[in-house]
Every structure is written in C-alpha cells, then in structure tokens.
C-alpha cells in the first residue's frame, strides 16, 4: 500500500486548536472525502496542514495528520517544509494562488477562484496569475471544482496539454439531502434561508440588506434564517450581532449554526435558499445541498455558481447586487408554482452532482496519477 | 411632560440634584440607574428606571439630560424635545477616544452644553454658541495665588436654571446665558491681571473671552500673554499663544495683519502650505476664504463657517463641506451636499460620492440615536467599501462602554451603601 | 474614515465672491513673511563720539556686504555724523539732540523703529566697534536667503589690549556663548525691548521665540582693544551708570582693571 499525502492550509480545526475535529468548512470536508476515495483505491492517505499555534501530530479516522506552524507571510516556504516531510505522492490540495515550489509532476487542486473581487488591486491579480502559471508549469495536473478556473487558466496562462486541468465539480449526497415532502409543512410564514458562513465574500452584507428590504415589505409574513458560522469578535461577526440586536424585525430573523448532519433541517424548513456570493466561489456545497433538497435557489452569477444554476430553469441567477437579489426573491415569494418548478429542476440537476459520480471521477484521475 | 436624566453616578452623588428639583414643572424625573436607593434617598418626583426600560417609561420626554458622554445616543434615541449635556470633571474613562467622540456628539445635538472643565468649555465655545461653564470663576493662573470664591458658588447654577427654564417655557436659546457668563469671566480675568500683571495664562484667557465677545482689547492682551510666555521659557509659544493673534485680526477684518501673524507661526511643512494657500486666496480676491481658513486654523469653527455663509461657489462649498465633515456636523454636511450636488461630482468608478453620502446619512442617524436606520446606511456603504462594516462593528464596543459605565455606577453606588437590584429589566 | 477620503478634493474654478474694500486691498500681492531669495540686508548701528575709534573701519566693512545702513547718532559732540554721511549706503541717519545713552532701551527701541521704516527683510545689529570675520561675511547671503529660521547668532570675541588677542577668562567668555545679532524682520511682530538702562539685548526679546540658527562664525569686538586710559574711562562710566550691579556684574566691572588678563591669540580662519 502506497501513501498519498495531501498538503493543505487547513484540515483539523487549527483555528480553535481543536485537533479532534475537522474544521466545518467546504475545503476540510473535501479533503476528508478525498481521503475516503484514496482509501477505497487501496492507498493510505496522510494530511499535512498548517497550524496557527504549535506543531502537532495526531490521527483522525485512521489518517495521520501533521500540523506545521508557519510564518503568515511565507506560505510557499511552509508548503516546501510539508513536502519535504510528506511521504508518497503529493497532492497540493489548497493555496494554488500562492507561488509554491511544487514537487515536480505532482497533482494540485483548485477549489475555486478567490481573487475575483472587483475591488482587488491589479497588482494582486497579476501576482496570482504568475502563481497559477507557476503551478501549471510544475504540476502534472490540476483538478478544478469549477469551469471558472479552467477558463481563467486558458485565458491568462499558457500550457500545452488541454487536459492538464480536469473539472470535477463538488458533490452532494443526494440520498441524504432530499426534498421535504410538502405535506410536512404546516401553515407558517415563508422562510428564506441563507445557508452559508457569515462572511463578506459569501454575501452577508447584501443578505442583511435584503433582509431589511424583505421585512420592510412583508414584516411578520416572512422569516429569514442565517444558518452558518459566525466568527465571534471579528468585524463582520460583531456587525451582524449589532444589526440583529437593533433590528425592529428581529423576531423574524434567526441565526443558527448547524453541522454537516443537522443542516438538512434548515433546508427542510426553508422555502427559498439564497446564495448571494460576492466573490470567491467554487462549487458551493450549500448550493448543491439546497438544490438536492429541492429548494428554489436565488444565486449570484459568481464563480462556480454559473456551473450549477441556469437562470429560470433550476433557480434564478442574478448579479451580486442587493436590488437584483431582492427582486429575484420577491418574484419567488409571489409565485408558488415558480418555486415548485425551479425546486424540482434543482433536485434533478443535483443528481448529476451526486457524490458517487464525484468519487468515480476522482478515482479515474488518481488511477492515472498513481500509475 | 417628563424629564430623563442619564447620569454618571448614583442620585446621592449627582452634582445637579438641586437644579433638577428646581425644575418643578417637569415631573416626573426619570433617573437612569441600575441601583435602587433606599426610599428616603430619592425624592418622590424622581423615579429610577433602567436603561432598558427608559424608552417604554417615557417616550419623547420634554427634557433629557446627559452627564456622561457615553449616554448621548441612548438619550437622543428618545427624541427629547430638549437635550442638555452637562459634563462634570473626572467622569468615568474621561478623555478616552470613545469619550471624546461621544463628547463631540453631545456638543453637536445638545441645546446647551456645559462643562466643569474650563479648557473643555473653551474648546467647545468655538464650536457651539450655547455653552456654559459649570463652575464659578474660582481658579487662578498657576503662578498666582489661589483664591477661592466660595460665596458665589451658586452663580452658575442660577444661570443654568434660568437658561433651562427659558428654553423649556419660552423656547429661548441659551446663548444669552453664554454671553452673560463670558462677560463675568472677562471681569474675573481682568481682576487677576490687575493683581498679578500681564500673564501668559490669565492674559491669554482674557484675550480669548474678549475674542468670543468681540471686545476690542483682545489683541493687546494676547500679545502680552505671548510675551510673558516667551519670557517664561515656554517653547512653542509662537504656536500656542501668538498664532491666536491671526484669529483676532481676521475677526476684525484686518486681513493683511491676520495673514502676517499666521505666517510668522507657519513653521511646519503643513502650516507653510496652508499659509501659501491663504496668501493666494487673498491675492485672488477671496478674502472670505482666506479669513475662513485663518479662523479655522485657530479652531474657530463657528467663525470660519460664518465667513463662508452666503458663498455658493464650488470652492467655498467644497471647503464648507469638508469642514462640516471633519467636525462631524453630518446633518449640515448632508444638507449642503444635497443642495450643492457635491456627492454627485465624485468619480463614477468606486462611487466615493455615493459612499460618502451613505456614510453621512449613517452618521447623522446615529447621532440622533436611530441605530437601525444608521446601520442600514452603513450596510449600503459597505457594499461599496468593505471597511464601512467596521462602523457597525464599532457599535458593539460602544455598548460595552455603556455597560462599563453602568458597572462603575453600581460599584461607586455600592460603596455608598446603596442596595443593588437586578438592572436587566429589558 | 470618511475624512480620509477628503484629502484630495481639488479646487475647481475660482469664482470671485462678494468683495469688500478690505478684500481689494488684500488683492495686491501679499509679501510673504519669509522669502528664499532677494532679501534686503540692513545693518543698524547706534553711534556716539566715535572719532578716533573704529567706526570708519566698521562702516567700510559693512558697506561691502549689506544693502543698507541705518544709523542713530546719540548726540555726538564730534564729527561722527559727518563721518557717517560719507557712506552712500546709509539710508537713514537720525541725529538725536540729547543723548539717550543712560537709557539704553530707548536708544535700542528708537533704532529698531527707524530701521522698520526702511522695509527691511533682515536686520543686522552692529555696534560701532564690531567687525565680522571674512567667513561670516561670505556666509551672510546664504544665511538670510532661506525660509527655515528667523535669527542667526555668532560668537563674539572681546579683543584686549590690541588687535591680536582676545580675553578668555571667568568674566570674559562671551565667545563661549552665542549672541543673536541677525534677525528676519517680521512686520507686526512684537518689538519691545526690556526697559533697562544698560546691557540691553541687541534685538527685541520676542524674536527669541522663533526658530534660529547658531553658528561658529566670529565677530571681533574691539571696544576693549584700546589702551589703559580708554578702559579706565569705560570702567568709570559703567560704575557710574550701574553702581549696584543692577544691569551687569560688579565683579566683571572690576576685572576691567586686571593687569594680567588671560588672553588667547586670534587666528584668522581659512
């Protein structure tokens, strides 16, 4: 049995020094799933990750995990250290926007473009282009979770093999995330769900603004749920708490944190899901889960969301602007038939992203890579 | 009609009890506190109320009084008909950044601002017309002999009571009381000057009060204060003392002398640039802009804005707008930008104009205690500029400051033997 | 944070606001209080009975590097005035009918007032027995053609018993300190002198509040370079003016008569 080492900036919860659990984000979940695929291929996965605090070495689910403290300003150096120690074939599972010195011929993963904020300086974007070119020059292949990154590489970089980038969109367990039967829903206000971490890039600001507008219009006849983690003490965390506390309509607003399992409840109780990403989006797990649960989606046309939603077919796709998001939600509120049609199509679309398909795609890539 | 007091201490330590009780027409008096004193300590007309319950107990009170700057937004949120800010010395967390910014709000929205500290009082006297010094003139320059004037210690209280009374019953602005008191202060410092001779502090303060009252001897008193300061070895007396001469000359429409006086003191790189600009304004026939800048350089905001009154060209309005924003006069800045279309001139890319306008609206709402409205504007600004989120986050630290103030009041109240009750009624 | 965005508002077209007569006056070019070039240097002197002393030499030297001379004659009884008139750079020459020598502050104040009327840029206060070293003279123009400081000081040396040595001891060490004699004239700036009868400072006290420049350039004070008789005469004059040592040091007055003062040879700087 050979070893496959995944190098990443995050896996176990290094932010809170809780090395017994993986951090509740998409990247970490992805790595856990990928480890499962590697094991199914008869290989032994290892994870090497960066640590905010002390170095550590532990086991999680039978996987050895190594934590490395690092200098925030020198991520490439940190990855080089991890690569030295890691055994077997390497998969660089994050930080592709950094100028990492890759072990030649390794595999890389891009979880989505995170430098597509319209406000980022050109100098930053140019730097990233250089880093991506660097990755293409040194890695044998890159798995991308969306077409967005693939298109970016084709337009900003130079590489010889057209299949050097393989798109494997993220997945959803369509058996676990299922639509809630209509009979289960009692009479209650319409619920709009924001099933994301509360962060700037994921659109918390437009969502708060949309909430203000919705409550202006519908007051007690609507509920808005924010279902995601909040970083306490951060600027956005404090702002959200202040906004909620001061809101005259606070009875109609709720905030709850769910885990991978219980998030299904949130989808089950919702009528509309909103994915108002402003920038930095690969293939959103939240979007896929909501689609799999048969919810009509209002999503912004950012990053990999464009791979999932076709406007008017399985959701409404709008620019990342408050008024556009609000109007889309409004059109769904007033039209139950539209909600049902979009929701049904969303569910069908989700089937094409089922986890088994994702695993099969990865197995093909890994089979090639591991020879 | 009711009155609400947002204090910094318990009732038994409250320095303005007498004045409150004399406002007999304004019953009941709600006293915001987490402590419930023994009944014999609280007069009948004074009712304790927690900060959480006050909005329910008295909507739109006739009068709100704030004696700690941290309370200003809470007080404003009740939309009182009249608001007084009476700030004693040595209040909790005095002169912290938040304290200072809240104090600026007090000055902006209060119908009357009072301070026990003469230096704080003077600072505000240049920004606001209705100000009172909450003490009688009983202090002297440090080198002089200390002389307390205990006999007249009620003078300012009498004045304050009369000013508040006229304000509530006849809608008369308290500026008359300001002028009256300043005349008394002129007399006071004249007497000190007679006793100790020309003095860097006494003569300076005399000059300042004469300036505020537009009395003629301000220049000569200012010069003698400068000379005394210089002879006493005060470094930087050119800036701390002499510079004010430029304001005096500007006030007297002696523009050339004002510019020269300022020019002498323009030693730093920034000052030199400003001096050059002032000269150019004068040379280009813009005496109004030159004089306004000179007054502004001497922190006379009221005077500076008055000079620009009636000037509607873009240069003057841009300047007025900038100064209004710098001094947190958000509402006036908004009114001006709306009238002059200032925000519309901003470059399309990045929309600084729209963002500015959202921020101004947010600040203006916050000033009046309309927190939710303010946050809505800040959110709109945050869509254009992520940093604006910090303005919302900051509110949390402001609330934390009020919580500390309340704890401090509890602790000092406990040391007085007052009974503590659960203050979380809200 | 809003105010950070305010910095780069640019001035747009200047439209004239309503203009008062006062504004019209200001419309003329404003003479800047500090200028980096074209500064006029005016030397100011108070003279009294200078025949046979150093005045001619001093005026000749000054004429070589200043632009104008302003002189107040304190009721000389000899031909000092005629001597002054020989120099074409003398812009003002005031002849006092009665001497103010015993009230030195009045003399200094008057000299300053008279000098002010010539619209000077820089004033150099010179006594009739002072000569600047060549280095100082060469540096004069750069010293005044700048806008960073408003006064300049020099090291004065009391020459003793001739023109080769200066006195350097406990009571005679002015060369170890700085003496402010060159100053930028600032219109409107307080120009009061302390009301002393003797040893009044050269320049109005308030000017010391301004930034200045210390230099090691030297000035020769020749007042004590003469013979024993002249020293004795001065000694008596000081003792008469200031018997109690109100304005100066009694011990210093006595030391005028020292028979073996400590002297240091003067070497010209290259």
CA distance A190 to B425: 32
Q: What is the DSSP letter of C30?
A: P
CA distance A71 to A50: 10
User: Of residues B426 and C82, which shows the higher confidence score?
Assistant: C82
Greatest alpha-carbon pair distance for chain B in Å reads 70
Interface of A to B at Cβ within 8 Å reads: 119, 200, 205-206, 208-209, 212, 235-239, 241-243, 246-248, 322
List B residues 203-232 in contact with C (Cβ-Cβ < 8 A): 223, 226-227, 230-231
| Number of domains chain C is built from | 1
pLDDT band at residue C11, thresholds of 50, 70 and 90? very low
* Residue B168 clears pLDDT 60, i.e. is over it: yes
Using DSSP's 3-state secondary structure scheme, residue A116 falls into coil
CATH tag, A3-171+355-370? 3.40.50.2000
C15 vs B278, B308, B314, C11, C147, CA distance in Å?
16, 13, 8, 11, 31
Range A162-201 burial, b when 16+ CB lie within 10 A, else e? eeebbbbbbbbbbeebbbbeeeeeeeeebbbbbbbbbbbb
CA distance A368 to B11: 81
Using DSSP's 3-state secondary structure scheme, residue C76 falls into coil
pLDDT, position B143: 31
Using DSSP's 3-state secondary structure scheme, residue A137 falls into helix
Residue C270, domain member (yes or no): no
Note whether B156 and B181 are within 8 A (CB): yes
Residue in chain B nearest A248 by alpha carbon: B372
Residues of chain A with CATH 3.40.50.2000: 3-171+355-370, 182-351
CA distance B291 to B286: 9
Of B372, B383, B399, the CB nearest to A205: B383
Task: Give the mean pLDDT of C192-210.
Answer: 90
Q: What would you report as the CA-atom Rg of chain B, rounded to the nearest whole angstrom?
A: 23
pLDDT, position C203: 95
Residue C32, domain member (yes or no): no
Say which CATH architecture domain A182-351 belongs to: 3-Layer(aba) Sandwich (3.40)
Which residues are bridge partners to C10 per DSSP? none
Other CB atoms within 10 Å distance of the CB of residue A314: 23
**E strand segments, A245-366:** 253-256, 272-275, 297-300, 316-318
CA distance A242 to B394: 9
- Print the domain residue range for C152: 41-265
CA distance C165 to C174: 14
Residue C131, domain member (yes or no): yes
Question: pLDDT tens-digit profile of B120-165?
Answer: 999 999 999 999 999 987 653 333 333 333 333 478 988 999 999 9
Which residues are bridge partners to B377 per DSSP? none
Q: How many residues does chain B have?
A: 426
Q: Which of B253, B287, B307 to probe by mutation at the C interface, max C CB count within 10 Å?
A: B287
Of C5, C16, C188, the CB nearest to B257: C188
CA distance A335 to B100: 53
Question: pLDDT tens-digit profile of C138-195?
Answer: 999 999 999 999 999 999 999 999 999 999 999 999 999 999 999 999 999 999 998 8
Instruction: Name the strand (E) or helix (H) holding C38.
Output: none
User: Of residues C90 and C101, which shows the higher confidence score?
Assistant: C90
CA distance C93 to A290: 100
- For the domain that residue C243 is a member of, what is the CATH number? 3.90.550.10
* Residue A183 clears pLDDT 80, i.e. is over it: no
Note whether C231 and C161 are within 8 A (CB): no
Greatest alpha-carbon pair distance for chain A in Å reads 62
CATH numbers and ranges of domains, chain B: 1-125+393-419 (3.40.50), 328-384 (no CATH)
Residue C3, domain member (yes or no): no
Alpha helices of chain C — where are they, by DSSP H? 21-27, 55-65, 80-85, 104-116, 134-144, 228-241, 250-255
Question: pLDDT tens-digit profile of B273-318?
Answer: 999 999 999 999 999 999 999 999 999 999 999 999 988 898 999 9
pLDDT, position A277: 97
**Minimal C-alpha gap between C209 and chain B (Å):** 6
Note whether C187 and B260 are within 8 A (CB): yes
CA dihedral A53, A59, A61, A63 (to 10 degrees): 100
* Residue A267 clears pLDDT 60, i.e. is over it: yes
Give contacts of B390 with chain A, Cβ < 8 Å: 235, 239
Which residues are bridge partners to A89 per DSSP? A4
Terminal CA-CA length for chain A: 13
Terminal CA-CA length for chain B: 23
pLDDT, position A17: 83
Mention every residue, 6+ apart, whose C-beta is less than 8 A from residue C12: B314, B315, B318
Is C27 in the B-facing interface, judged by CB distances under 8 Å?
yes
Q: Which of A235, A280, A300, A323 to probe by mutation at the B interface, max B CB count within 10 Å?
A: A235
Note whether B87 and B68 are within 8 A (CB): yes
pLDDT, position B151: 30
Mention every residue, 6+ apart, whose C-beta is less than 8 A from residue A261: none
CA distance B236 to C210: 9
Residue contact B396–A212, C-beta within 8 A: no
Residue C27, domain member (yes or no): no
**Residue A62 burial by CB count (10 A; 0-12/13-18/19+): exposed, middle or buried?**
exposed
> In 3D, which of C25, C12, C35 has the Cα closest to residue C186?
C35
pLDDT, position B91: 87
Q: What is the DSSP letter of C244?
A: T
Note whether B375 and A243 are within 8 A (CB): yes
Residue C145, domain member (yes or no): yes
CA distance C73 to B284: 44
Q: How many residues does chain C have?
A: 270
Of C3, C27, C33, the CB nearest to B260: C33
pLDDT, position B411: 82
pLDDT band at residue B20, thresholds of 50, 70 and 90? confident
* Residue B349 clears pLDDT 70, i.e. is over it: no
Note whether C14 and B286 are within 8 A (CB): yes
Give contacts of C15 with chain B, Cβ < 8 Å: 313-315
Other CB atoms within 10 Å distance of the CB of residue C189: 23
pLDDT, position B49: 92
């Amino acid at each position: 049995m050979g070893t496959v080492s995944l190098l990443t900036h995050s896996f176990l919860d290094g932010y809170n020094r809780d090395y017994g659990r993986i951090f509740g984000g998409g990247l970490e979940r992805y790595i856990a799933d990928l480890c499962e695929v590697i094991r199914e291929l008869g290989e032994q996965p290892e994870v090497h990750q960066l640590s905010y605090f002390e170095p550590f070495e532990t086991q999680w689910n039978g996987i050895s995990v190594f934590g490395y403290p690092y200098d925030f300003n020198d991520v490439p150096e940190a990855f080089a250290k991890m690569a030295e120690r890691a055994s077997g074939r390497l998969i660089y599972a994050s930080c592709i926007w950094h100028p990492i010195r890759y072990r030649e011929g390794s595999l890389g993963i891009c979880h989505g473009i995170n430098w597509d904020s319209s406000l980022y300086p050109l100098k930053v974007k140019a730097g990233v282009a250089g880093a991506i070119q660097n990755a293409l020059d040194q890695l044998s292949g890159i798995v991308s979770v969306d077409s967005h990154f693939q298109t970016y590489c084709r337009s900003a970089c130079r590489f010889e093999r057209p299949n050097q980038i393989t798109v494997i969109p993220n997945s959803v367990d369509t058996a676990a995330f299922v639509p809630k039967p209509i009979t289960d829903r009692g009479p209650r206000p319409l619920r709009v769900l924001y099933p994301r971490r509360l962060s700037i890039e994921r659109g918390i600001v437009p969502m708060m603004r949309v909430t203000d507008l919705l409550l202006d219009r519908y007051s007690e006849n609507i509920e808005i749920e924010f279902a995601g983690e909040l970083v306490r003490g951060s600027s956005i965390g404090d702002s959200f708490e202040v906004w909620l506390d001061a809101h005259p309509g606070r009875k109609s607003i709720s905030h709850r944190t769910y885990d991978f399992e219980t998030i299904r409840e949130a989808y089950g109780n919702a009528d509309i899901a909103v994915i108002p990403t402003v920038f930095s989006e690969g293939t959103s797990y939240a979007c896929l889960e909501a689609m799999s649960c048969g919810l009509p989606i209002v999503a912004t046309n950012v990053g990999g969301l464009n791979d999932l939603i076709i406007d008017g077919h399985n959701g409404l796709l709008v620019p990342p602007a408050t008024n556009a998001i609000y109007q889309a939600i409004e059109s769904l509120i007033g039209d139950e038939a539209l909600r049902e049609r979009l929701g049904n199509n969303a569910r069908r679309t989700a089937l094409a992203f089922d986890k088994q398909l994702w695993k099969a795609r990865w197995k093909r890539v890994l089979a090639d890579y591991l020879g | 009609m009711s009155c609400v007091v947002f204090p910094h201490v318990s009732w038994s330590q409250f320095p303005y009890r007498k004045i409150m009780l004399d406002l007999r027409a304004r019953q009941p008096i709600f006293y915001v506190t987490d402590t419930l004193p023994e009944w014999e300590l609280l007069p009948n007309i004074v009712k304790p109320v927690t900060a959480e319950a006050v909005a329910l107990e008295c909507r739109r009170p006739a009068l709100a009084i704030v004696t700690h700057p941290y309370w200003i937004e809470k007080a404003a949120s009740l939309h009182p008909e009249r608001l007084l800010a009476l700030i004693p010395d040595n209040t909790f967390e005095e002169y912290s950044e938040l304290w200072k910014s809240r104090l600026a709000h007090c000055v902006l929205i209060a119908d009357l601002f009072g301070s026990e500290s003469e230096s704080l009082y003077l600072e505000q006297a240049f920004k606001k017309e209705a100000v009172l010094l909450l003490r009688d003139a009983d202090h002297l320059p440090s080198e002089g002999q200390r002389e307390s004037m205990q006999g007249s210690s009620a003078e300012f209280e009498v004045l304050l009571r009369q000013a508040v009374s006229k304000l509530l019953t006849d809608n008369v602005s308290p500026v008359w009381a300001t002028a009256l008191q300043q005349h008394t202060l002129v007399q006071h410092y004249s007497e000190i000057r007679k006793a100790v001779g020309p003095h860097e502090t006494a003569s300076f303060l005399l000059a300042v009060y004469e300036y505020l009252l537009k009395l003629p001897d301000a220049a000569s008193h200012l010069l003698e204060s400068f000379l005394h300061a210089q002879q006493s070895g005060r470094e930087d007396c050119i800036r701390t003392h002499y510079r004010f001469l430029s304001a005096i000359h500007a006030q007297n429409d002696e523009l050339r002398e004002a510019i020269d006086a300022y020019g002498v003191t323009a030693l730093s790189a920034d000052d030199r640039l400003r001096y050059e600009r002032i000269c150019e304004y004068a040379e280009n026939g813009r005496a109004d802009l030159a004089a306004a800048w000179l007054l502004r350089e001497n922190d006379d905001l009221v005077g500076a804005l008055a000079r620009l009154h009636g000037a509607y060209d873009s240069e003057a309005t841009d300047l007025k707008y900038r100064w209004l924003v710098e001094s947190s006069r958000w509402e006036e800045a908004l009114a001006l930008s709306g009238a002059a279309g200032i925000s519309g001139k901003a470059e399309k890319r990045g929309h600084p104009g729209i963002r500015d306008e959202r921020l101004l609206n947010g600040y203006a709402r916050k000033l009046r205690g309309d927190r939710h409205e303010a946050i809505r504007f800040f959110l709109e600004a945050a869509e254009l500029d992520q940093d604006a989120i910090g303005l919302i986050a900051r509110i949390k630290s402001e609330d934390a400051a009020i919580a500390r103030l309340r704890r401090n009041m509890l602790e000092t109240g406990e040391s007085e033997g007052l009974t503590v009750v659960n203050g979380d009624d809200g | 944070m809003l105010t950070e965005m305010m910095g780069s508002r640019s001035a747009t077209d200047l439209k004239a606001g309503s203009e008062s007569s006062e504004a019209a006056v200001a419309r003329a070019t404003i003479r800047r209080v500090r200028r980096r070039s074209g500064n006029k240097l005016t030397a100011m002197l108070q003279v009294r009975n200078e025949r046979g002393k150093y005045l001619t030499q001093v005026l000749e030297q000054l004429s070589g590097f200043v632009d104008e001379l302003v002189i107040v004659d304190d009721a000389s009884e000899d031909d000092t005035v005629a001597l002054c008139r020989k120099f074409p750079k003398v812009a003002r020459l005031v002849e006092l009918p009665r001497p103010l020598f015993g009230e030195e502050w009045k003399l200094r104040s008057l000299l300053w007032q008279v000098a002010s009327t010539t619209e000077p840029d820089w004033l150099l206060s010179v006594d009739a027995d002072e000569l600047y070293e060549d280095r100082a003279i060469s540096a004069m123009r750069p010293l005044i053609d700048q806008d960073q400081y408003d006064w300049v000081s020099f090291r004065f040396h009391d020459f003793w018993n001739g023109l080769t040595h200066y006195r350097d001891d406990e009571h005679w060490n002015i060369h170890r300190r700085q003496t402010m004699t060159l100053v930028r004239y600032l219109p409107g700036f307080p120009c009061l002198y302390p009301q002393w009868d003797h040893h009044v400072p050269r320049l109005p006290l308030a000017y010391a509040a301004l930034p200045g420049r210390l230099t090691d350039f030297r000035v020769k004070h020749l007042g004590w370079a003469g013979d024993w008789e002249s020293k004795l005469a001065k000694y008596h004059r000081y003792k008469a003016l200031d018997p109690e040592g109100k304005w100066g040091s009694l011990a210093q007055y006595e030391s005028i008569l020292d028979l073996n003062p400590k002297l240091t040879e003067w070497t010209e700087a290259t």
